[in-house]
Structure 1
Amino acid sequence: MNDGILLIDKPSGLSSAQIVGAIKKALRPERVKVGHAGTLDPMATGLLVCLIGRATRLASYAQGGKKRYTGEIQLGIETTTDDITGEVLECQPVCFSDAQLSEALALLRGEIAQMPPRISAVKINGKRAYKRARAGEEFEIAPRNVTIHSFDIVSLTKDSLSFDISCSSGTYIRSLARDLGRTLGCGGTLASLRRTESAPFAVSEASSVDQFLREPTHLQKRFIPWYALFETLPRVSVSALEYSLLSNGNEEALMTLIRREGILSAGHLGFAARALFHVKGQRPQGLLEYEGGRWKSRVFDSELFRGSVRTGGTQKPSGSERELNRQVSQETRRF
């Protein structure tokens, strides 16, 4: 099956959508869903987390991880796009002290209200901001709360600086470049950008586009299982019968499990308020999650139960499936 997570080191000049298209082409003749967990602009390079097949259901989880970027800000200019690809709007002399730079950086760390670029995919009354901007429309974008965990200067020249930034999902590095320049009184625009991390993954784990274009038949060997996204979560073992009940949304079975494992309080699981669950001896099959004041179970890996009592399928089960189905039958009789 074509299901899993694929980490790609995106080169400059290609859009995220073009990478997705190339993966789909490499997986032919199978028709499979492919998506990604966070767009990189064409000029940017680095980690693009791609979701294949049923893993596309994990998009909201994959997009929410902490991000880390390196790059360069060109000082002394502002552009229409807040990066070097846009038209220059204004040029100003660059003149600031070390103390002024430290103060400006301090204002851009922590939780901040950030104004997205006008050339962005943010929707304004149902229409993308970049479409409104290119049509010459007048509009306003509401600021968004984001968290800048760290904003460090790696090197500094007369009119540029290199940075290393760790931030929350949804942060626009172009906006940070623009706002830093404005705070320094000289303007600034993003000159280069590389995503090095999208938690829990790092670009060092990624494949190059050349690698999978050169050997498309080996693409599946690079797939990471869906549960790698939740590798730091606690794990809960369930019986085959409990799995079957959880798969069918049985709330009584869910709450019995929660009480048995001592995780009735969301705080027991920490900030994430989540746990993986698995049938003993098998890989993780789903997620327990505290959301909206109640616990929910979500099954992401039903492959083990193809043809089982849950799905009612007709495909001949594998050895592991037969064993799980045998457990379900035995436990059902005891139940």
Structure 2
Amino acid sequence: MYNGIINIYKEAGFTSHDVVAKLRGILKQKKIGHTGTLDPDAVGVLPVCLGSATKLCDMLTDKSKEYRVRFLLGRTTDTQDSSGQVLTQSPVTVTEAQVTAVIHSFLGDYDQVPPMYSAIKVDGKRLYQLAREGKEIERKSRQVHIEYIHIEELALPEIAMVVGCSKGTYIRTLCHDIGQELGCGAVMTHLERSRVGEFLMEEALPLSEVEQMVKEGTIDGHILPVERIFADYRKVTVDDRFRKLIDNGNAFYEDMIMESGACIDGESVRVYSQDNRFYGIFAYSSYEKRFKPVKMFME
């Protein structure tokens, strides 16, 4: 079984679930999970967790993301992108200076109302399922964070930009909200996710390349070990005399580790045995003077 994270380039026409299903066939294993849904028409980075790394899925969805997006002013649709049914069309009379100012006004925290065509669940049902039934319900806004926006092209009514943002941000909704603020509406026409945390577009592999690498026996070099995700965490080695504790996923006391130095309350660390086997992430409690398991990755 493969264990680790592989950076997949999701092509247009595939859902994120399609990618997982195809990888299960290519890698001949069931234990696979993706780290954040991309719309079928969107392309780009989709980190996929394999084997023991599936425990990382929820942690990787928290990572910041970067998108390259194109959108068109003067139109709105029910899906907030160009694939949807047109709701309104308006003349675009705004200036480039006005557009630039409005775009930059979205930097920082802002309250975003999720679109109806999204995978968010309400009362056990996905919003997009309700939308396909012709229903629209009130959605609560959620605070998202726009870290940066770089305008790449301003050829009104078309705009291209790069957006760095927090988890849970809907880029088509950002485009829609910019259009609403300008008074003419807007629809997203193209979306590419160029980064998820440390996973970059330049290193993402299309499924066809993964399939070829599996046949050639070279895929292992493209699977990131779980522990690399936590490279900025301090390494802690448990003395072999107490190895049974971590073998069973139990907490251990600070005097059971090989390293010297002060332990910090609440600090998360990477835990290893003396033969350098990675066990998982533990957090230190100064009150209890011991390290307690957070996520275990042993097979």
TM-score scaled to structure 1, two decimals? 0.80
Between the aligned partners of 2:241 and 2:66, the Cα distance in structure 1 is 42
Between the aligned partners of 1:163 and 1:181, the Cα distance in structure 2 is 14
Residues 259 and 110 (structure 1 numbering): CA distance in 2 closer, same or farther, change over 3 Å? farther
Partner of 2:253: 253
Larger CA deviation: 92-101 vs 179-188: 92-101
Q: 1:22 is aligned with what amino acid?
A: K
Q: 1:287 is aligned with what amino acid?
A: I
Between the aligned partners of 2:251 and 2:277, the Cα distance in structure 1 is 23
Equivalent residue for 1:296, pick from 254, 279, 292? 292
TM-score scaled to structure 2, two decimals? 0.89
- The equivalences for 1:12-161 within 5 A come to 12-28=12-28, 31-161=29-159
1:246 and 1:253 in contact (8 A); partners too? no
1:245 and 1:253 in contact (8 A); partners too? no
2:238 and 2:272 in contact (8 A); partners too? yes
Cα root mean square deviation, aligned: 2.5
Between the aligned partners of 2:127 and 2:258, the Cα distance in structure 1 is 44
Partner of 1:287: 281
Segments of structure 1 that go 5 or more residues without pairing to the other structure are: 267-272, 304-335
Between the aligned partners of 1:95 and 1:227, the Cα distance in structure 2 is 53
Give 1:25 shift. 0.5
Q: 3-state SS of the aligned residue for 1:179?
A: helix
Q: 1:5 is aligned with what amino acid?
A: I
Higher relative contact order (CA 8 A, sep 6+): 2
CA deviations over 1:41-95 (Å, ceiling 9, x no partner): 1111110101111111111111111101112011111111111111111111112
Residues 72 and 138 (structure 1 numbering): CA distance in 2 closer, same or farther, change over 3 Å? closer
Partner of 2:233: 233
Between the aligned partners of 2:136 and 2:171, the Cα distance in structure 1 is 23
Partner of 1:8: 8
Q: 3-state SS of the aligned residue for 1:228?
A: helix
2:66 and 2:162 in contact (8 A); partners too? yes
Partner of 1:206: 204
Give 1:260 shift. 6.1
1:247 and 1:298 in contact (8 A); partners too? no
2:250 and 2:292 in contact (8 A); partners too? no
Between the aligned partners of 1:105 and 1:182, the Cα distance in structure 2 is 11
Give 1:121 shift. 0.6
Between the aligned partners of 2:177 and 2:153, the Cα distance in structure 1 is 19
Give 1:221 shift. 4.1
Higher strand share: 2
Larger CA deviation: 50-59 vs 104-113: 104-113
1:13 and 1:42 in contact (8 A); partners too? yes
CA deviations over 1:179-213 (Å, ceiling 9, x no partner): 01111111111111111111121122221222123
CA deviations over 1:129-163 (Å, ceiling 9, x no partner): 11111112241111111111012211110211111
Residues 154 and 245 (structure 1 numbering): CA distance in 2 closer, same or farther, change over 3 Å? same
Give 1:265 shift. 2.5
Q: 2:228 is aligned with what amino acid?
A: A
Between the aligned partners of 1:82 and 1:285, the Cα distance in structure 2 is 44
Residues 259 and 236 (structure 1 numbering): CA distance in 2 closer, same or farther, change over 3 Å? closer
CA deviations over 1:248-278 (Å, ceiling 9, x no partner): 3444526865996423323xxxxxx422122
1:38 and 1:48 in contact (8 A); partners too? yes
Between the aligned partners of 2:144 and 2:187, the Cα distance in structure 1 is 19
1:246 and 1:254 in contact (8 A); partners too? no
